[in-house]
Amino acid sequence: MPAQMLTKQRAESPASGRRRRMFPLIPRAEPGASGVRLPALFLIVGLLAGPVGTHVYWALGGTWGLHQSTSTGIRVVAAVVIVLLIAAVLVVLARIGVWEQAFVSDRVIRFFAWALAAVFLVEAVASFTWSMEYEWWLYGPVSLVIALLAFVVAASGGAWRIHRPHGTLTSQSAGDRRA
Tens digit of each residue's pLDDT (9 = 90 or more) over 25-73: 444 444 445 678 899 999 999 999 989 998 899 899 888 877 777 788 8
Q: What is the pLDDT of residue 157?
A: 72
Residue 137 CA to residue 67 CA, distance in Å, equals 16
Per-domain boundaries in the chain = 32-155
Q: Do the beta carbons of residue 145 and residue 153 sit within 8 Å?
A: no
Q: What is the pLDDT of residue 131?
A: 62
Q: What is the pLDDT of residue 43?
A: 93
Own/partner pairs, 59-66, CB within 8 angstroms, 24+ separation = 65/134, 65/138
Please identify every stretch of the chain with a pLDDT value under 70, giving residue numbers as ranges: 1-34, 131-136, 158-179
CA 16 to chain centre: 36
